[in-house]
Structure 1
Amino acid sequence: MLLKTTKMDHEIKEQQQKLASLIQRFTPIDGIHATAIPSLALIRTSEISQPIFSVHQPALCIVAQGSKLVILGRESYTYDQSQYLVASVNLPISGQVVQATNENPYLCMRLDFDPGQIFDLIRETPCAPPKPDNSTSRGLFVSSTKLPLLEVVFRLVGLLDTPKDIPVLAPLFIREILYRIIQDEHGHSVMQFAVQNSHAQHIAEVIEVIQSEYAKPLRIEQLAAMVNMSSSSLHHHFKAITAMSPLQFQKQIRLQEARRMLLSGSTDAADAAFQVGYESPSQFSREYARMYGLPPKSDIKRLRHTLEMEY
């Protein structure tokens, strides 16, 4: 058994090195690189980064070299080449590359997906059935990377060498990648959003409303009625999936959007506060500083300086 485990570990390490070499070949400079496969992006970073705040869309992220820290609410997830990360629903997070050098840059692939693809797999393949109690799981998880997943990811990225094969083979490889994920130990965290009338599906609808109407006052009773849930049930399942309350979720969306406005130079802090739904500029400044570490004006000055240094 020990010999078999050692051999498997060696094969996984070898496959990781092959994937890292492949990604490095297609990412000659630092940054996020779109590819000929629309849902696939390759990422390279040659130094430890500052925290980057964003709304993480449903995606698989596999690190081939280096490591990254992701923070969701008050929870932190660190993953490297031995693990993969999946976000199953839109979530406001901060991400920071914590291991990268010029000689050994951070190398990662990100594959976006949607619940429709998972729904097709559930319907057409003998996947494990959803939990019968309609319970909800966190919409983001880190899991150990297995050899079959690495192998099909390598084949997918390798299609960039033969673009003519992409239209036929990429959908097949993506389907297998998603199949490997939902068959893994945390598969329910992905499958739950594809189950009709599940609590998770209702929470995904609520998340979409909060994202699109973040500047409006948050009315839990209306959101609950919209998805036919009680206010207490909505709050419970929302927090189970996102690691935060609906109000905390909205606050992060508001502050991220305000920061984007300020960075673009299109408005000042007081106006940005009103545009994203704050009635009090002072409250906005306090919550902004709590999230980003500095009040708006100082944070934007620091952020612009960082961007100038990078480019």
Structure 2
Amino acid sequence: MDNCNGDTTALENKLTHNRSFLYGDAVFETLKIVQGKILFLEDHYFRLMASMRILRMEIPMDFTMEFFEEQLLSTVKNEGCLDSARVRITVYRNDGGYYLPLTNTISYLIHATPLQSQVYVLESKSCEVDLYKDFYISKQLLSTLKTTNKVLHVTASIYANENDLDNCILLNESKNVVEVLQGNIFMLQGTKLITPPISEGCCNGILRKQLIALAKKMEGLEVVEEIISPFDLQKADELFYTNVIKGIQSITKYRKKEFKTDLASSLVEKLNELILN
């Protein structure tokens, strides 16, 4: 008999044995759908497959890219938001065992919500950030995966809210910049666009990959993956972060330093050209 908020008469809670709930034993992908098309479908699918293999999950034979696409689109269609939607698929190991699972087979859950805009929009609102130093991201492969263990991001979000910040910059144990709460970070210094390498522990972002490719085609711009220290942020001309849902969001203030938004604006235009064509 389970006890849920003091109630021992209720039917068994479905979360009682769910390994995602108990151990964070799950990975997920958050995708954007525009006009019935999943943006960057192949990248999302192969990142999910790689994450499942790293976590020793058993991938069903029928879990092909076509099956993945069909399941996502049918969910969005049922929600009536094929024009523009945010959809998340969470893949979790099936019930059984404690730390050691009794099976490596999986189940999945898909949830879709409508989005207001099909295209990416660079929001003109201010975005003030600071460093989060209570806990650090580890420089290891697991940190690059989108797992359901996001306690660090949750506590950092609370910290940002308590300190009237719009976001926080997360650091690794070497005190180097890794990412922000909702995505990968980019820094412009002169004509050099810098983002931390995956080896620093940052999420292997889908839009990060797309943006690096787009920026490398821009004349007069050098794009590199290099370590960023907090001291470097003070010398930046521009800071922004990326994720598949928001696209690009400019960071306008870090401590006493304020930043331009010119490059971010140009990249949003190029990003929209890419997704609409």
Return the TM-score normalized by structure 2: 0.26
Larger relative contact order (CA 8 Å, sep ≥ 6): 2
> Comparing both structures, which one devotes a greater share of its residues to helix?
1
Give the TM-score of the pair, scaled to structure 1: 0.24
